[in-house]
């Protein structure tokens, strides 16, 4: 009798577990993209590497096709793989997938303001228009912006000349320079490289990027019940609060010192427009200004700096490519002073342009882009994507797709040269995404990459330490970066 009772108890426990499993297991909506079977609570998260899931995503694509779905906790996400599908979603159906997902850690940190993570709508459109117009006012695409970059390049070169002959980690110099270029536009000033507050903000940007695109952010996004616990993701909120407080102070100083109509920088432009908006109902306010400034400062610092650092790394470890670039630079800049580098020189330097674009491709700074969301119920490749669904574009799959690149895993500038040696940009070069949410700072990033690297290549040879084996694999993240390295900048003899 006791044995029979024990069997019944075991049977009842098993039955309850099965029912709970069936009840809690995430289910794909009708006509939703296929994918691996999720498990309760975790979804498919346990099937992805915490250090670098890109290979796992490639395997998912091989099994389920170029449009597939995973559950991140209980939340469904659609992954897009390959040039054809991503261009269809971002360009052909750009308005359908121009949204930003809601309810993630990055939304809560930014309070859905600014414009990087702001959802597609009137406020986002207003701020993107403003950001483009004000950046052009203060030099985007003009000689004045080029001069700002050249000024920072001179500071980099002076620091390198003071430590000539010794291997150095260039990360601090390059991050400081990239930050100063955008600071001169946003705040009307640059900072000395030893400025403690400026250095701290750059460090906070890097720390937030590391946490926000790592495992702790996935835990925050996938398991809402854990959000109030004192776990490492709380550091992101603390860092952002500090930076917002700092920016509010800068805005307040501008308000007290400005003369209406005398626009010194982006802050003055916004304050002028904000006063006008009281009359015409535009969606401008001080908190949106603070978040927009942080968006622009972060985006123009971390991504640009990591791309330039990747370029130095690749050229130091590919001396033949470095030497060919320097020969072309010497020909193009023959007879000019050391301050004579111009962005216009790119038209006469096809191999150099190919090398810089190959740097951007291989560095692959944002391998999964910025996450999108469906703005309305949409269909893609025959699948139904409900409004609000998280959509992730695997840009890594485009930048490393075999059919589009002869040697996708190598640093190979001829990817961007035609059979006559002229520079060309393949259709698969989607490093800055595409469509309505294409990267706002693409032109500025290209200008900085060209002016800074050409200036450094003209004056120095990048020498890799003989006793160290290079590791070109980046540190995975929403924003990837090269692993820390040291290189010697040896002055060239002209």
Show binding-site residues for heme. 439
Identify which of 449, 194, 265 has the alpha carbon closest to the alpha carbon of residue 341: 449
Q: Are strands 390-394 and 75-81 parallel, antiparallel or unpaired?
A: parallel
**66 alpha carbon, distance to own chain's centre:** 23
Three-class SS state of 109: helix
Three-state DSSP string of 384-418: EECCCCEEEEEHHHHHCCHHHCCCCCCCCHHHHEC
Backbone φ, ψ for residue 385 (5° rounding): -115, 105
**204 alpha carbon, distance to own chain's centre:** 16
d(CA 313, CA 484): 10
Q: Are strands 383-385 and 378-380 parallel, antiparallel or unpaired?
A: antiparallel
Are the C-beta atoms of residues 217 and 233 closer than 8 Å to each other? yes
**312 alpha carbon, distance to own chain's centre:** 19
Residue that the structure tokens 């079977």 belong to: 37
CA dihedral 427, 432, 438, 444 (to 10 degrees): -120
Identify which of 33, 65, 19, 9 has the alpha carbon closest to the alpha carbon of residue 391: 33
| Binding site residue list | 439
Q: Report the run of H or E that residue 452 belongs to, with start and end.
A: helix 442-459
Identify which of 306, 292, 271 has the alpha carbon closest to the alpha carbon of residue 179: 306
């Amino acid at each position: 009798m006791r044995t029979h009772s024990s069997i019944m108890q075991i049977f009842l426990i098993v039955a309850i577990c099965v029912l709970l499993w069936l009840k809690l297991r995430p289910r794909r909506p009708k006509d939703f993209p296929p994918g691996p079977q999720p498990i309760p609570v975790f979804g498919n998260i346990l099937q992805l590497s915490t250090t670098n899931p890109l290979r796992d995503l490639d395997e998912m694509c091989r099994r389920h096709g170029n449009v597939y779905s995973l559950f991140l906790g209980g939340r469904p996400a659609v992954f897009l793989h390959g040039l054809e599908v991503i261009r269809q979603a971002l360009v052909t159906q750009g308005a359908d997938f121009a949204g930003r997902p809601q309810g993630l850690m990055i939304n809560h940190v930014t309070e859905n303001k600014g414009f990087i993570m702001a959802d597609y709508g009137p406020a986002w459109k207003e701020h993107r228009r403003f950001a483009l117009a004000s950046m052009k006012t203060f030099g985007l695409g003009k000689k004045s912006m080029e001069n700002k970059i050249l000024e920072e390049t001179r500071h980099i070169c002076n620091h390198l000349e003071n430590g000539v002959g010794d291997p150095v980690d260039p990360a601090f110099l390059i991050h400081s320079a990239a930050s100063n270029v955008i600071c001169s536009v946003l705040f009307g000033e640059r900072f000395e490289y030893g400025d403690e507050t400026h250095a701290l903000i750059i460090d906070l940007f890097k720390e937030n990027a590391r946490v926000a695109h790592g495992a702790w952010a996935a835990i925050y996004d996938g398991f809402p019940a854990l959000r109030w616990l004192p776990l490492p993701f709380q550091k992101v909120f603390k860092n952002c609060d500090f930076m917002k407080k700092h920016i509010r102070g800068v805005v307040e100083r501008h308000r007290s010192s400005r003369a209406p109509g005398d626009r010194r920088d982006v802050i003055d432009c916004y304050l002028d427009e904000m006063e006008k908006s009281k009359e015409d109902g535009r969606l401008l306010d001080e908190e949106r200004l603070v978040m927009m400034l942080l968006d622009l400062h972060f985006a123009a610092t971390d991504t640009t700096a990591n791309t330039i650092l990747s370029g130095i790394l690749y050229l130091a470890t590919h001396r033949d490519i470095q030497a060919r670039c320097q020969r072309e630079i010497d020909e193009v800049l023959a007879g000019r002073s050391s301050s004579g580098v111009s962005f216009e020189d790119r038209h006469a330097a096809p191999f150099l342009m190919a090398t810089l674009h190959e740097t951007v491709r291989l560095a692959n700074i944002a391998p999964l882009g910025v996450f999108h969301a469906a703005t309305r119920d949409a269909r893609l490749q025959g699948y139904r994507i409900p409004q609000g669904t998280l959509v992730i574009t695997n840009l890594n799959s485009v930048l490393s797709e075999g059919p589009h690149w002869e040697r996708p895993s190598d640093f190979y500038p001829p990817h961007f040269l035609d059979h006559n040696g002229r520079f060309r940009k393949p259709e698969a070069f989607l490093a800055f995404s595409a469509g309505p949410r294409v990267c706002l700072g693409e032109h500025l990033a290209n200008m900085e990459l060209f002016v800074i690297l050409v200036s450094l290549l003209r004056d120095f040879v990048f020498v890799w330490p003989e006793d160290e084996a290079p590791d070109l694999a980046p540190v995975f993240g929403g924003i990837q970066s090269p692993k820390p390295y040291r290189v010697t900048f040896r002055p060239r003899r002209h």
